[in-house]
Amino acid sequence: MEFGLVQMWNQMGSVAKGVGFLLFFLSIVTLYLFIERQLVFAKARSKSKKIAPMLAGMLKKGQIQEALKLSSKKDNAGSHLARVTAAGIKEFLEGKEANLSLEEQIECAQRGCDRASTIFSQELKRGLNTVATIATSSPFIGLFGTIAGIINAFRGMAETGSGGLGAVSQGIAEALITTGFGIGVAIIALWAYNFLSTRIEVYAAEMSNTASEIADFFIKKAESQG
């Protein structure tokens, strides 16, 4: 029996080939989601880097309406900092229009920022459950192919009436290939999941800091007016 990859693939059974195709498909899905999330993260980072100094300058000058207008623009919807800022300012102004106390207005702003942060975090996490599922299920899918390979090995022994290498080599090769492929896909998916989760935590921390800065701004503004 030849042990080249092409030769081994040609001699694999239908079950092992099906497992191989499935694992290959899952690896493509993992890479697609990883790249797609990276593009979303890059968009949020670039837009926030551009708009954050502008919003900070407007707030320092007391241009609340201008800051709300800028952060609410459709073009800035991909910025996590703009989303949080817009939500905080909007809730603060609505609380002011409702004649709430200053403390209640600030609480409204904080809740608005928290809601925006939660919603954006969920948007950033889109697809992560799929990657996590692939990471946990791929070894078991590979194990299914392993079982099929072992069965083929025993079938070869039964057909030849001997336990020689020639009788079991094809089944053992199927078992090893599917096992290795399943573990490889799982490792890739696990790395992708951990990397994306870490990036999301960074964005969550930035949104939390922005929410805190907005609350501090309104507090200082009220104290200066008082």
pTM of the predicted protein model? 0.81
Tell how far CA 207 is from the center of its chain.
17
Mean pLDDT, the chain, rounded, equals 84
- Which domain does 49 fall in, by range? 5-225
Task: Return the amino acid letter for 19.
Answer: V
pLDDT tens-digit series, residues 96-143: 888 888 888 888 999 999 999 999 999 999 999 999 999 999 999 888
DSSP string, 47-58: HHHHHHHHHHHH
pLDDT tens-digit series, residues 150-187: 777 666 666 665 555 554 666 677 777 888 889 999 99
* CB-based burial, 55-64: b 16+ in 10 Å, e otherwise: bbebbeeeeb
**C-alpha triplet 64, 66, 69: angle, nearest 5°:** 110
Report DSSP state, residue 74: G
Query: What percentage of the chain exceeds 90 in pLDDT?
Result: 40
pLDDT tens-digit series, residues 71-100: 888 888 888 899 999 999 999 889 888 888
Please report how many Cα atoms fall inside a 13 Å half-sphere around the Cα of residue 113, on the Cβ side.
Answer: 25
**pLDDT for position 34:** 96
Q: What is the count of structural domains for the chain?
A: 1
Backbone conformation region of residue 99, classed left if phi is above 0, alpha if psi is from -120 to 50, else beta: left
